[in-house]
Structure 1
Amino acid sequence: MRSAARTITSVALAISFGLASRCVLVAQSAAPEAMSSSAKPAEVSFQFERAGVPVPRFTLRVNEDGTGSYQADEVQSPADKDSVQYASPKHIDRTLKLTAPTVMKIFKGARELGHFDMSCETKSKHIANTGEKTLSYKGADGTGSCTYNYSDNKDVNGLTDTFLFIAFTLDEGRRLEFLHRYDRLGLDEEMNELVQAVKAGHALELGTIAPVLISIAGDGAVMQRVRLQATKLLEQAESNKI
């Protein structure tokens, strides 16, 4: 067990170093050639608001150089006799660094949609409330925004999914961090959910939660299968697959 723990720890630390190195390379390659070093990069943002969910409000901002931010209001999660309450009401404000493929996809979609200077909302009636969403673009080549509950435009829906899947990964990172600190046994089920979401393509940008995955992978007090899962997710993030 001690040998396995040392092996996992070494792999996790090596991956951590690799992730840091790749972030530098992404920062250099993600910026457009035409952009001068002093020019402000274009920005795409996604705002979401829906009552009754664990994170009823959040905003994701992505700059064309790959930097970005995530701001959210997280409500208290109800606890029951068989579970540990993993979240208390709080405001989240953190910086992000996204991979070049994701950034390119977001900005390509934004420009093909005319910088969102359009109507995104469906004309269909009696659509269930899936949350108010706003896509916005701001850059030297144009500005625009559109707000919608549901859209018939497949490209709008594709971008919506990208942002929602990034937000899902960030939410999972906070849950894993809490469980690692207060309920290590609960990590097994939560990690399985994240692994399944990754396989389904519903969790993106695992590099944004690399620190908590590294911490879990290197903790000998955590179940070995959970540590191995964390290590494999880090390897996927390092290989830039997701």
Structure 2
Amino acid sequence: MRATTSIVLGTALFLGSSFVAIAQTAEPAAAVSPSAEVTFQFDRTGLPVPRFTLRIHENGTGTYQADQAETPATQTSMRGQAAQHVDRPINLTSGTVAKVFKAARSLNHFNVECASKAKNIADTGTKTLTYAGSDGSGSCVYNYSENKTVGTLTDIFLGVASTLDEGRRLEFLHRYDRLGLDAEMNSFADEVKEGRALEMGTISPTLAAIADDTAVIQRVRLRAAKMLEQVAADSH
């Protein structure tokens, strides 16, 4: 019996004396641009959270990493907290993400002078804004900036970090000092109202646990439930 030979050439197959056309099954992989990201780093010794980094991707996902200092016991809670490192994923609303990336690109991916040249400015912490993406990259460092767009970005990131810090405080009080939740939730509500705490959705599980706990006083549960309603509204 005569041996049959086959040769693959481009998209055609030669089989013996016959010619059969075949469809190409693999296309060259398209170049996929990595998701752009904006990072905000903060460092100031002496604060309850002296160092943290927020990294946000353009699809809204991101990470929060922080070093939390030791928390001493209080009059109402005989239990303090040891220093800890926090590393957790987060998701931000599309509105906040759009503001962050629009601002970053308007600042030429942070290839600008962020820091104020004014003298004798109080130390509010060393801040670093960084952009990385297929459309460019850059970074700038400042303590205080007179640039309004930089100021807006700073307020956004500090507001998100404030909410995440609050979430950890609420978790601690819920576990060890439920009576302390009342004053803490009132204070948090004021921060949200005044725009100093943003993206409550990042602590939704904590708020839900409080709202569902019948051992917590009713007004605290109702406040937590109202916050969750706002989270739902903001996500649409």
TM-score with structure 1 length normalisation?
A: 0.82
- Residue 77 of structure 1 is aligned with which of 54, 71, 74? 71
2:82 aligned with 1:88, yes or no?
yes
For residues 104 and 72 of structure 1, what CA distance do their matches in structure 2 show?
Answer: 24
Q: Provide runs of 4+ in structure 1 moved above 6 Å.
A: none
1:91-170, aligned counterparts within 5 Å?
91-170=85-164
Shift of 1:83: 4.2
Shift of 1:40: 1.6
Shift of 1:86: 5.0
- Residue 56 of structure 2 is aligned with which of 51, 59, 62? 62
- Output the amino acid matched with 1:176: L
Q: Name the residue aligned to 1:238.
A: 232
User: What are the Cα deviations for residues 172-204 of structure 1, in whole angstroms up to 9, with x where unaligned?
Assistant: 000000100010000001100110111101111
Q: Name the residue aligned to 2:9.
A: none
Shift of 1:209: 0.2
Task: Give the conservation status (yes or no) of the 8 Å contact 1:86–1:175.
Answer: no
Shift of 1:87: 3.0
Larger Rg: 2
- Output the amino acid matched with 1:184: R
Q: Which runs of 5+ in 2 are unaligned?
A: 1-29
Greater helix proportion: 1
- Output the amino acid matched with 1:68: G
- Residue 35 of structure 2 is aligned with which of 41, 49, 55? 41
Q: Which runs of 5+ in 1 are unaligned?
A: 1-35
- Output the amino acid matched with 1:198: V
C-alpha distance 79-43 of structure 1, shift in aligned 2 (>3 A): same
Between the two proteins, the alignment pairs up a number of residues equal to 207
2:126 aligned with 1:171, yes or no?
no
C-alpha distance 141-122 of structure 1, shift in aligned 2 (>3 A): same
- Residue 186 of structure 1 is aligned with which of 180, 183, 197? 180
Q: Name the residue aligned to 1:26.
A: none
